Amino acid sequence: MRCCIDGLNLHPTSVHDAAVVLDTVTDRLLAAGDRRAAFTDVYGIVTRAVAAQVGRRDGMFLEPAWISRLAGRFCERYLQTLGWYDRGAAQDCGAWHIAYASTASRFTPPVQNALLGFSAHINYDLIFGIHATIVEFGHGADRAMLARLKHDHDQINTLLRASVIEALARLTARHGCPLSAFFLDNAPEVAVWVSMEMLSRWRERVWDDVLALLAARDGSERAALSRGIERRSTRIAQMLALPSLHQAPHTALRLLSRAA
């Protein structure tokens, strides 16, 4: 069986590599009518925004090389989960299992599939991706550098905020998402606010978990932290996967607020 990542660069090392791969995967999934495309499409929007800033001499990042490497590693992890799904292999965390299971149902709206993808990718993958990239660059014990990296981590929130409306428009036009269309037409400001309340809280917790992993005294302590991260990310995914999320816009807003 053909896999959606066949022949692609499965080990992107930069944000530019990641953007190319994500665009290709999105095109393939859309052509196949695969509902996984909703997340990949929106993920690509944010990745291209990061790439644009990394490529600017006056961009928003203090450490653009670090951010670019992180984006490549982050994408590599997502490609790993796609490969497991296409091969029928088990995911290594509950959040991704739930995210992919949701795409198997035609009753799940595209925005919910996208949210579940972002939930797994942020609340699980991003923690370990940031930790690994800090270690790779040798910054784990440098408090001044960690402050610079935290600044850049927070700057991603600005790009996420600027991407919400484009994401809703993309989910409406390319994926036929009625829930996205409702918020885009009737409450775009509310959609941005709720999205960023959720995403910014998740991402703040991510940094706390990264610092905890860096401070861990040994492998057993890191393993215990990892198990806790997996359990929490799974609980968030379980809440986002509730069937009532697609029943009415006001119900969706209430559940999203709780998931934050």
On whether the CB atoms of residues 179 and 251 are closer than 8 A, the answer is no
Tokens 């690509």, residue located: 44
Q: How far is CA 37 from the centre of its chain?
A: 13
Region at 176 (left for phi over 0; alpha for psi -120 to 50; beta for the rest):
left
**Tens of pLDDT along 203-242?**
999 999 999 999 999 999 999 999 999 999 999 999 999 8
What secondary structure letter does DSSP report for 89? P
Reported as a single tens digit per residue, the pLDDT across 69-109 is 999 999 999 999 999 999 999 999 999 999 999 999 888 99
Encoded tokens for 205: 């917790």
Residues contacting residue 221 through CB under 8 Å, at least 6 positions apart: none
pLDDT digits (tens, 9 = 90+) for 41-51: 999 999 999 99
Model confidence at 258, pLDDT cuts 50, 70, 90, reads low
Question: Do 98 and 88 form a contact (C-beta atoms < 8 A)?
Answer: no
The predicted pLDDT at position 2 comes to 72
Q: pTM for the full model? A: 0.92
Mean pLDDT of 36-64: 97
CA 172 to chain centre: 19
Q: 39 pLDDT band (50/70/90 cuts)?
A: very high
Provide, rounded to the nearest whole percent, the portion of the chain with pLDDT above 70: 93
